[in-house]
Each structure stands twice: as structure tokens, then as C-alpha cells.
Structure 1
Amino acid sequence: MKLHLKEHGFRTKLDFGQLEISGDEEFGFRPYQLMVASIASCSGSVFRKILQKQRIDVQDMQINAEIERNKAEANRIEKIVLTFIIKGSRLDADKLYKNLHVARKNCSMVRSVEDSIEIVDKIEIIELSR
């Protein structure tokens, strides 16, 4: 990956498209946003694959990320709370949490930051009638 300097940050071209990165939201994605999005989407993708393999009926999944940053230490990310909002039929909370635990162990982004950022997982279930 090559990053090129621009007036308000950096730009990179990837197979999917161009990515604009800047400390100012007016000019691109902020680095912390990309990090949180990477962690959340990696967890969600691995979790989704596990649920599909087990044929668990998930109609929709959203992930809300709450971020705690430490201004005294360069505004570093200290904690991310990921709330997985799962819609489906006959969902078993215990089974979902067990699968999410397995997903965490297999998510490269979580594994990359697990010793420096506290990551908390929560699940909210929205039961859909059949």
C-alpha cells in the first residue's frame, strides 16, 4: 500500500477505489475511524461466517461502536464497545455469545490490538416472528 501526501492528509488507491485519509473529517476518513471500522467489520465478518456455517437464522446484523479515547495520551483509543444488534428467528443468546467468542479469536484486527485496546462485545437480539 502506498500513501501519497495531499494538502490535508494522505490518499491511497486500492483495488476497490480511492481512500482519502485526514485528521479533518472534511477531507477524508480520520485514522481512528478507519481503525475502529476495521476492528468492527472484521469481527462482524468472521462472526457472520460462523453463524452461516451453523445455519443460524440471522436476517440482519448491525454493529454499533462506542469509543473511549485518552486525550492525555495523544487521544489514543483505549476502549471499544461493540454492540452487535442481531435480527432473526429463534436466536439463542448463549450460542450467539459462544460464537462471538470464537469470532474474536479468529479476527486478525482484534488479535492485532488485543494487548493495547480493550474490546468489549455485547449482543442485542431482535426476535422476528416467523
Structure 2
Amino acid sequence: MEYKMMENSFVTDLEFGQLEVSGNADYGFRPYQLLVSSVAVCSGGVLRKILEKKRLSYKDIRIKADVKRNEAGANEVTDIHLHFTLFDVDASDEKLGKIFELTRKNCPIYQSVKDSIRITETYECMNQSAN
């Protein structure tokens, strides 16, 4: 990837399109937002893949990410909490616990940051179709 400096951001062209990154949310995605999104979406994608490999049906997956930053330091990300809501998933709590262990183990972004950012997860199952 190559980034070009703009007046208020840096821009790169990727396969999907242009990505504009800035420390100011008025001019692009903020770096910490991309970091947290990478952890959340990578985890969600691996979770989806594992559910499908195990032939466990589900209707939808939603992920809420809460982030804690150290304002006394460099405002670095210290904690990320991911809350997964699985809709109409056909799996027991015991089986889901094992699936989340596999998800953590097989998510490359999680593995890349786990020693420097505390990542916690919770999940809930909703037995109704997603809206």
C-alpha cells in the first residue's frame, strides 16, 4: 500500500476503492476506527466461516465494538470489547464457547494485537429474525 499526503489526510487506492485516513473525522476515517473495525470485522468473518464449516445455521451476526483509549498517554487503544449478537443460531452455549475460542485463534488481526490491546468478547443469541 502506498499513501499520498493530502491537505488534511492521507489517501491510498485499494482494490475496493479509495481510502482516506485522517486524525480529524471531518476529513477521513480515523486510524483508531480502522484498527477497531479491523479487529471486529476480522473476528466476525472468521466466526461466520467457522459456523458455516460446522454447518450451523444462523440468520445474521451483529457486532458492537466498544473502545477504551489512554487519554493520559498517547491516546492509544488499550481495550476493545466486542459484543456479538447472533440471530437464530443453531448451537448450544458450550458449542459457541468453543467456536469463539477458534475464532480468536484463527483471526489474524486479533492475533496481531492481542499482546498490546486487551480484547474481550461477549455474545448473545436472539431467537428471532434480524431486522
TM-score interval for Structure 1 and Structure 2 normalised by the shorter chain: over 0.9
- Equivalent residue of 2:122, what SS? strand
- Equivalent residue of 1:37, what SS? helix
2:83 maps to which residue? 83
1:112 maps to which residue? 112
Letter in 1 for 2:93: A
Letter in 2 for 1:72: A
Q: Note if contact 1:91-1:127 (Cα within 8 Å) is conserved in structure 2.
A: no
TM-score relative to the length of structure 2: 0.94
Identity %: 45
2:63 maps to which residue? 63
2:53 maps to which residue? 53
Letter in 2 for 1:123: Y
> 5+ residue gaps in structure 2?
none
Q: Does 2:103 align with 1:103?
A: yes
> Whole-Å Cα distance in 2 between the matches of residues 73 and 97 of structure 1?
35
Q: Note if contact 2:89-2:125 (Cα within 8 Å) is conserved in structure 1.
A: no
Shift of 1:21: 0.3
> Whole-Å Cα distance in 2 between the matches of residues 14 and 121 of structure 1?
30
Q: Structure 1 segments of 4 or more deviating over 3 A?
A: none
Closer, same or farther: CA 89–36 of 1 in aligned 2, 3 Å: closer
State the aligned residue count: 129
1:124 maps to which residue? 124
Q: Does 2:26 align with 1:42?
A: no
Shift of 1:90: 3.8
Greater strand fraction, Structure 1 or Structure 2: 1
1:94 maps to which residue? 94
Shift of 1:33: 0.2
- Equivalent residue of 2:103, what SS? helix
2:32 maps to which residue? 32
> 5+ residue gaps in structure 1?
none
Q: Note if contact 1:89-1:128 (Cα within 8 Å) is conserved in structure 2.
A: no
Letter in 2 for 1:112: S
> Whole-Å Cα distance in 2 between the matches of residues 9 and 97 of structure 1?
41
CA RMSD of aligned residues (A): 1.2
TM-score relative to the length of structure 1: 0.95
